[in-house]
Amino acid sequence: MAAGGSLSAFRLPPLPTIREIIKLFRLHAAKQLSQNFLLDLRLTDKIVRKAGTLTNAYVYEVGPGPGGITRSILNAGVAELLVVEKDSRFLPGLQMLSDAAPGKLRIVHGDVLTFKIERAFPESLKRHWEDDPPNVHIIGNLPFSVSTPLIIKWLENVSRRDGPFAYGRTQMTLTFQKEVAERLTATTGSKQRSRLSIMAQYLCSVQHVLTIPGRAFVPKPEVDVGVVRFTPLTQPRIEQPFQLVEKVVQNVFQFRRKYCHRGLGMLFPEAQRVESTGKLLQLADVDPTLRPSQLSVSHFKSLCDVYRKMCDEDPHLFAYNFREELKQNKSKNQEKEGEESYRLQLPP
Ligand code: SAM
């Protein structure tokens, strides 16, 4: 394990450029896997600066690919960098970087969706949740199809204070499709306000710190890219289990153009829908005619708190799923129709 302090002035020795590495190891991007690489080291330096001071930090980079961001992280004076890359074609190029930075770069051939970072760094880095964030950072430019499910998984880890957040309030600096970055950071009332805005903002301070034009990547993706920085909050703005918050938020935003009572109604079985939705809105003191995008995190807090009480009073309520009820009603109706047509066919 690399020591801190004295190594902070480290700079990588002269190396082939990322473009040369790509040629050398024949690392053509697999388009179907959305591999878009950053070759400009000034840009990767800029992304890494947005993560904050990394002096003596322990950094977990997800999806290093040919290693552009990796080089910038190594040059930022980190104590140790652990990278997890799924595609084995990138391993020799990363090994070359590791040889150039002895004792600093650990390479794992694996999947970020299953890799357990909580045991990878020294125990001594752990901080109490209420303390300043630990000197542990997550940085990455992943395919968009991976970064969105991954942030949902990590937000759930934030809520449970486990996974990467077993170290404390580990900070993350990650890239997303620009529209997703805008949704993550959207304020109350804005057009981009969505499920992701609430799920991210009730647990973290979320900042869209940089936009990178698509043309900066090779090959060029269809869209621009947003860099988003997350710092878990000492006190979540909604103190209910992640699944409960997710259920309320998902139900509200499924009818994003309607009044919020429409989506909230779907939390309740049809037979009690009108009455229970009215009760929820009244006790939470939320105007039923607000649109989902107009609801603030504190509106969601009140709604989740009241819904939690209603779930405690009715143990079947949380498991209720309106789609299941719809399906059951449909098959009951089909059965009834079948029976009726059978009866019609019987001789009098
Ligand atoms: N970070 C590099 C850069 O900025 O140039 C590469 C970016 S490319 C968009 C995404 C990288 O993530 C690829 O190297 C890809 O193989 C890797 N990757 C994709 N899914 C992954 C997963 N589930 N676990 C680990 N790495 C993954």
Can you give the three-state secondary structure of the chain, one letter per residue? CCCCHHHHHCCCCCCCCHHHHHHHCCCCCCHHHCCCEECCHHHHHHHHHHCCCCCCCEEEEECCCCCHHHHHHHCCCCCEEEEEECCHHHHHHHHHHHHHCCCCEEEEECCCCCCCHHHCCCHHHCCCCCCCCCCEEEEECCCHHHHHHHHHHHHHHHHHCCHHHHHCCCEEEEEEEHHHHHHHHCCCCCCCCCHHHHHHHCCEEEEEEEEECHHHEECCCCCCEEEEEEEECCCCCCCCCHHHHHHHHHHHHCCCCCCHHHHHHCCCCHHHHHHHHHHHHHHHCCCCCCCHHHCCHHHHHHHHHHHHHHHHHCCCCCCCCHHHHHHHHHHHHHHHHHHHHHHHHCCC
Q: What is the pTM of this model?
A: 0.92
Q: Which residues line ligand 1 (CB under 6 A)?
A: 34-38, 63-66, 68-69, 84-87, 90, 111-113, 141-143, 146
Lowest model confidence (mean pLDDT) among 163-177, 213-227, 259-273, 327-341: 327-341
**pLDDT surpasses 50 at 127:** yes
Q: Which atom of ligand 1 is nearest to the CA of 217?
A: 5
pLDDT digits (tens, 9 = 90+) for 111-124: 999 999 999 999 99
- Residue nearest to ligand 1 atom 18, measured at CA: 63
pLDDT digits (tens, 9 = 90+) for 43-88: 999 999 999 999 999 999 999 999 999 999 999 999 999 999 999 9
Distance 144 CA to ligand 1 centre (A): 10
**pLDDT surpasses 70 at 130:** yes
Distance 142 CA to ligand 1 centre (A): 5
Report residue 177's pLDDT band, with 50, 70 and 90 as the boundaries: very high
pLDDT digits (tens, 9 = 90+) for 4-36: 444 447 899 988 888 888 888 777 777 667 789
Per-residue pLDDT at 16: 87
Mean pLDDT across the chain: 93
